[in-house]
Amino acid sequence: MKTISSISSFAVLLLFEIMNIWNTTTDFILLGLFNHTEAHLFLFVMVLTIVFTSLLGNSLMIFLIHQDVRLHTPMYFLLSQLSLMDMMLVCTIVPKMAADYLTGLKSISPFGCGLQIFFFITLEGSECFLLASMSYDRYVAVCHPLRYVVLMSWKLCLRMTVGSWFLGAADGLMQAAATLSFPFCQVREINHFFCEAPTLVRLACANTLAFENVMYICCVLMLLVPFSLILISYSLIFAAVLQMHSREAHKKAFATCSSHLSVVGLFYGAAIFIYMRPKSYRSANHDKIVSVFYTIFTPLLNPIIYSMRNSDVKGALRKCIGQYVTLNHD
């Protein structure tokens, strides 16, 4: 408890000091994703449509998990947290991007930039550990089904969830504060559609090598460690599935695990591409395209993947629609 208290005190003091620095500096300019051409206007409308669908799909997923008693299990609780993180991620990035495009006012204050970095890294980091928790849940369900209630208790599930949020928030706070503590050059244009730490560090008028090395180590811990745990979990799962004699058990296990693996592949592939490439291979345009993929498209794909491949979720949706139709008829 003393260690957590001291870390919290240090984080608060660091945050207040950095906020004083932010209040004395001028705004940044986000160059954005789209130009004011017909083609880009069409793409902008498509992005807004995808975002609206994503928010609707994730909201529906949370609603169904909350409403249907059959979905009150650790697996679906973790899935509801994933949907919540995706919704928050979209709301952190897209409203500012859309407002900048529609108004032409592309400035963002250092404080606003710091908030974007904090929430973005918090949500991305939390999702890394949450996906690892979900892989452990699937490992226990497939390899130790009779001991599932013991090995994946609600107490452990809540601890893993809180731990995921805490680790993500700690990384987000440190990276946001450290990134914006650097002095920045006269050119304060960010070639991106939101404030992202690697892009912002390129504008610093100071030696950022030490910080970039620390950030790289953080990325290894936040990405590769959970990813390794996921790979180990699914290696054990596939070994167990191959030993099953029931064809129905094969089918159910592969259906559930393939959904999770699809989400893991999409998320970790994009994140590793952004944060773990050598500096010499980085390109602002490539970073923007990949960032669109995992900040806008992936939150849409998650509820689609889990609902289309999951009979329990589809059953809950049919039940909900049936109850709605019955109420209207009455």
Record the pTM: 0.86
State the chain's mean pLDDT as an integer: 83
Q: Tens digits of per-residue pLDDT, 57-77?
A: 999 999 999 988 889 999 999
CA distance 289 to 61: 27
Angle, CA of 96, 97 and 103, to the nearest 5°:
85
**pLDDT tens for each residue of 39-58:** 889 999 999 999 999 999 99
Q: What is the three-class DSSP state of 107?
A: strand
> Is the dihedral angle over the CA atoms 234, 238, 244, 250 positive or is it negative?
positive
Question: HSE-up of 20 (CA within 13 Å, CB side)?
Answer: 5
Residue 288: strand, helix, or coil: helix
pLDDT at residue 16, as a whole number = 58
Q: How would you classify the pairing of strands 107-108 and 189-190?
A: unpaired
pLDDT of residue 238 exceeding 60, the answer is: yes
Mean pLDDT check: name the lowest of 130-144, 232-246, 253-267, 270-284.
270-284
What digits encode the pLDDT tens for the residues 7-36? 556 555 555 555 555 454 578 999 888 888
Q: Stretch 159-184: mean pLDDT, rounded?
A: 91
Q: What per-residue confidence (pLDDT) applies to 317?
A: 81
| Residue 44: predicted pLDDT | 92
Instruction: Please count the CA atoms within 13 angstroms of the CA of 36 that sit on its side-chain side.
Output: 5
Chain centre distance of CA 189 = 26
Dist CA 95 CA 36 (whole Å)? 18
Average pLDDT over residues 290-311: 81
Laid out side by side, the sheet with 107-108 consists of 107-108, 28-30, 189-190
Contact between 26 and 188 (Cβ < 8 Å): yes
